[in-house]
């Protein structure tokens, strides 16, 4: 269960300038763990710690200290890379998950990877993985507490954000007693618990209502009603100006009797972002890997191209295998 941080501390100690990259389509774990590590490293007296994400950054995490210092794709496209002692890749199981940040490899002396996905296929001078941890932020909590790195309120806020979002506010099967104990410790650092949870789990953007209504009306059930599919075609996404549709996942995977929720969003003509959510022993990481994606046993994703009818058929074929 414990993560092996043997060489990690040495790499962190040796570096004076550090670049941190999380994944594209950033979530609370990617952003939260990146920022927590930034605060901790700055606290250790590092000269420069820059956080990158090759995407636009959802502003629902703007309560994080220095949130506006995260370097998004707009920054990346308009500024040259500088040189770093260490490049740290967080919460990413494959190289393409970090987008253009892969170029940082050529601008850093050493590369460190910390990730909690299943089957991490990404290289570094040191790669620490632990798929038993609910979040990369939970691995960082372990790193900090085991090595007497002080967790202040900013770090606690970022780590709590990471852990709460990846566990669905401590509901998903990845939630352990360790996660709860860690959360309790973080709450004791004086974080604004209620605001963070309301912000991340309760409030929704009312602009999604028309798109959500469409998605729910058109939700379909397959494989003896064990799989629910919510499909949002490009014309609906455009018509209702839908950004994130992660709220839709809940409705697919939480219908009674459903063991796999499939959420398909056509982001460009014939290009589909697919998210999978499953219950119990149904391993949707394997389904995602079949299509070149990845993730966790009960939550994964991938991109697939083609005609929707064929795409759906292919996906359901793999989902059927995961249900067998
Ligand atoms: Mn994560």
Specify the pLDDT at position 205: 82
Residues 95 and 81 in one domain: yes
Give tens-digit pLDDT for 58-102.
888 999 999 999 999 999 999 999 999 999 999 999 999 999 999
CA of 224 to the centre of ligand 1 (A): 31
- CA of 297 relative to ligand 1 center, distance in Å: 12
Could you identify the residue written with the tokens 């919460």?
A: 91
Q: How far is the CA of 239 from the centre of ligand 1 (A)?
A: 31
What mean pLDDT is reported for the chain?
Answer: 95
- Tell me the per-residue pLDDT of 24-62, one tens digit each, with 9 for 90 and over: 999 999 999 999 999 999 999 999 999 999 999 988 899
pLDDT attached to residue 244: 66
Domain range holding 57? 8-202
29 CA from centroid of ligand 1 (Å): 5
Give φ, ψ of 271 to 5 degrees. -120, 120
- Residue 207: predicted pLDDT: 84
Domain closes at, from 163, 180, 202: 202
pLDDT tens track for 299-316: 999 999 999 999 999 999
Q: How far is the CA of 321 from the centre of ligand 1 (A)?
A: 25
Q: Are residues 196 and 213 in the same domain?
A: no
pLDDT given at position 296: 87
pLDDT of residue 208: 85
pTM equals: 0.90
Give strand pairing partners of 89.
21, 113
- Can you give the C-alpha Rg of the chain in angstroms? 19
Tokens found for residue 66: 């220095």
Residue 122 Cα to ligand 1 middle (Å): 15
- Rounded Cα–Cα distance for residues 123 and 117 (Å): 14
pLDDT attached to residue 246: 65
Distance 161 CA to ligand 1 centre (A): 11
pLDDT, tens digit, 9 for 90 and up, residues 99-143: 999 999 999 999 999 999 989 999 999 999 999 999 999 999 999
88 shares its domain with 213: no
Q: How far apart are alpha carbons 20 and 25 in whole angstroms? A: 16
The answer to whether residues 177 and 38 belong to one domain is yes
Share of the chain above pLDDT 70, in %: 99
In the chain, the number of structural domains is 2
DSSP string, 159-174: HHHHHHHHTTTTTSTT
Do 187 and 215 have their domain in common?
A: no
Last residue of a domain, one of 151, 168, 202: 202
Output the CA 307–ligand 1 centroid distance in Å: 30
Compute the distance from residue 136 Cα to the ligand 1 centre, in Å: 5
Q: What average pLDDT does range 3-23 have in this prediction?
A: 97
Mean pLDDT calculated for residue range 173-186: 96
CA–centroid distance, residue 88 to ligand 1 (Å)? 15
Average pLDDT over residues 160-184: 95
Whether residue 257 sits in one domain with residue 125: no
Question: What distance in angstroms lies between residue 166's CA and the mean position of ligand 1's atoms?
Answer: 6
Domain assignment of residue 17, yes or no: yes
Residue 231: partners with Cβ closer than 8 Å, 6 or more residues away: 215, 218, 220, 264, 265, 266, 308, 312
Stretch among 115-119, 170-174, 187-191, 238-242 having the lowest mean pLDDT? 238-242
Please tell me the distance from the alpha carbon of residue 194 to that of residue 164, in angstroms, as a whole number: 12
Asked if residue 284 lies in contact with residue 274, where contact means CB atoms within 8 angstroms, the answer is: no
CATH number at residue 252: 3.10.310.30
Residue 2 lies in a domain: no
b vs e for 33-44, b when ≥16 Cβ sit within 10 Å of the residue's Cβ? bbbbbbbbbeee
Domain stop point among 202, 229, 250? 202
Based on the fold, state whether residues 124 and 178 are members of the same structural domain.
yes
- State pLDDT tens for residues 220-247: 999 999 999 999 999 999 998 887 666 7
- Is 304 found in the same domain as 232? yes
**116 CA distance to ligand 1 middle (Å):** 6
pLDDT of 274 strictly over 70: yes
């Amino acid at each position: 269960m414990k993560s092996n941080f043997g060489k990690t501390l040495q790499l962190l100690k040796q570096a004076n300038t550090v670049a941190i990259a999380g994944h594209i389509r950033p979530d609370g774990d990617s952003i939260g763990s990146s920022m927590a590590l930034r605060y901790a490293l700055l606290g250790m007296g590092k000269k420069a710690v820059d956080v990158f994400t090759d995407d636009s950054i959802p502003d629902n995490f703007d309560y994080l200290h220095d949130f506006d210092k995260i370097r998004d794709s707009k920054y990346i496209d308009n500024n040259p890379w500088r040189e770093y002692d260490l490049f740290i890749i967080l919460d990413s199981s494959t190289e393409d998950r970090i987008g253009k940040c892969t170029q940082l490899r050529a601008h850093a002396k050493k590369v460190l990877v910390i990730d909690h996905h299943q089957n991490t296929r990404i290289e570094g001078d040191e790669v620490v993985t632990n798929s038993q941890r609910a979040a990369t932020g939970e691995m960082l909590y372990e790193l900090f507490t085991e090595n007497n790195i002080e967790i202040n309120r900013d770090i606690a806020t970022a780590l709590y954000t990471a852990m709460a979002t990846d566990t669905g506010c401590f509901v998903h099967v990845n939630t352990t007693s360790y996660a709860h104990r860690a959360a309790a410790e973080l709450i004791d650092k004086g974080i604004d618990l209620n605001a963070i949870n309301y912000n991340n789990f309760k409030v929704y953007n009312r602009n999604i209502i028309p798109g959500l209504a469409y998605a729910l009306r058109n939700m379909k059930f397959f494989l003896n009603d064990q799989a629910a599919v919510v499909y949002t075609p490009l014309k609906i996404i455009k018509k209702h100006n839908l950004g994130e549709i992660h709220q839709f996942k809940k409705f697919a995977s939480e219908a009674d009797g459903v063991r796999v929720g499939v959420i398909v969003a056509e982001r460009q003509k014939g290009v589909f972002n697919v998210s999978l959510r499953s219950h119990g022993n149904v391993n949707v990481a394997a389904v995602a890997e079949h299509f070149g994606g990845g993730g966790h046993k009960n939550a994964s994703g991938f991109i697939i191209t083609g005609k929707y009818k064929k795409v759906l058929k292919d996906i359901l074929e793999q989902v059927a295998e995961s249900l067998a």
